[in-house]
Chains A and B, each alone.
Chain A
Amino acid sequence: DQQVKQNSPSLSVQEGRISILNCDYTNSMFDYFLWYKKYPAEGPTFLISISSIKDKNEDGRFTVFLNKSAKHLSLHIVPSQPGDSAVYFCAASEGQGAQKLVFGQGTRLTINP
């Protein structure tokens, strides 16, 4: 039972363009969402988060959008840079103070020069 799903295993984007990574969830109790970025042989690195009381959160080139009715969130990266090439994981929890993160399978983003 995959409660957090990232249906695109991979995505290729031209440098300078927008990258859009998508994530769907099924558990209606989830109300806090995070995106992590992972390089090979390294642990995931926290990027950005959003609480269910918001529908958008922005941090520099990274913006996360949340559509609660559709149980869908997305991460926008603009402009995309070669260093953004990595695996991106969406994660969710029941409450910001909840400790158990449920992760999606990840999307491998490749930025082409």
Chain B
Amino acid sequence: GAGVSQTPSNKVTEKGKYVELRCDPISGHTALYWYRQSLGQGPEFLIYFQGTGAADDSGLPNDRFFAVRPEGSVSTLKIQRTERGDSAVYLCASSLLPDQPQHFGDGTRLSIL
């Protein structure tokens, strides 16, 4: 498809487990972003990649959260020792250049039991 693709669409796991969420940006988009959306709230910024490097990770809530983009395309958001408060929809977005509007995927709904 032509849009941002996120897998899985839903993930249910137990407290304390490790999870990985994947994002395939639009082909050719150099900038990639991760956001988290809790129920009844707007998306909240987590991290931004320009190419392979994390240019701004100021939104990561703590060191249990980590993201990579090793080849400048696909990105993986990794959450260690998950907690119930991590339950949310995790959204990925990409843009052709940093000053272009961000295009979002449909998100991964993460539920921590």
Contact = CB atoms under 8 A, between A and B. Distances in A.
Q: Pick the most buried of A49, A98, A100, A105: most chain B CB atoms within 10 A of its CB.
A: A100
A46 B103 contact: yes
B27 interface: no
B45 A43 contact: no
Nearest to A100: B45
Nearest to A106: B42
Contact size class for B? 20 to 34
Given A43-B4, A96-B99, A101 B104 contact: no
B40 interface: yes
Contact of A97 (B4, B35, B99, B101): B99
Contact of A99 (B44, B91, B98): B98
Given A6-B42, A46-B101, A91-B42, 9 more contacts: A34-B101, A42-B106, A43-B107, A49-B101, A100-B56, A101-B43, A103-B35, A105-B42, A106-B42
Give me the 10 closest cross-chain CB pairs, A-B, nearest first.
A103-B42, A43-B104, A99-B48, A97-B99, A46-B101, A100-B45, A96-B99, A43-B106, A44-B104, A103-B43
